[in-house]
Amino acid sequence: MKKILMIGGESEEWNAIAGLLETQFAVKRCSVDTEVFSGMMRLVSPDLVLVDLNTFDISCSRILSILRKDYLKVSVILLGTSE
C-alpha cells in the first residue's frame, strides 16, 4: 500500500493523521464533493481511502455509494465518533 486518499476533515486530529501518514505514504486529501472525489479516484488510484464521518452529509453518503459500486477492490476505513 503506497497511496492513500483522505476524504473530508479539517480538524486538528485529521490533520495530525495526515501528517503521520505522509511520512510513509503518498497522501492526497479531498473534500466531501462527489465530483472532486470521482476525479481524485481516477487521478490518484489509491490503495486505501480514509473517510472522516464527522463531516458526513449527503455528499459523503453518495461517496460511500460510489465506493461500494465502483471501487470494491479499494480498502476503505471510516473514522468517526460513537455518535
Which backbone phi and psi does 31 adopt, to 5 degrees?
A: -75, 170
Interval 29-58: pLDDT, tens = 998 888 999 999 999 999 999 998 887 777
Task: Give the number of C-alpha atoms closer than 13 A to the C-alpha of residue 1, restricted to the C-beta side.
Answer: 14
Q: Is residue 7's pLDDT more than 90?
A: yes
Interval 12-30: pLDDT, tens = 888 999 999 999 999 999 9
Domain holding 53, by residue range, is 3-79
What's the number of domains the chain is made of? 1
Give the pLDDT confidence score for residue 10 in this predicted structure.
81
The answer to whether 40 and 28 are in contact (CB under 8 A) is: yes
State the alpha helices, DSSP H only, in 1-83: 12-21, 34-44, 58-70
CATH of the domain at 16: 3.40.50.2300
The answer to whether 8 and 31 are in contact (CB under 8 A) is: yes
Give the pLDDT confidence score for residue 31 in this predicted structure.
86
Global pTM?
0.89
Pairing of strands 26-30, 3-7: parallel
Q: Between 8 and 3, name the one with better pLDDT.
A: 3
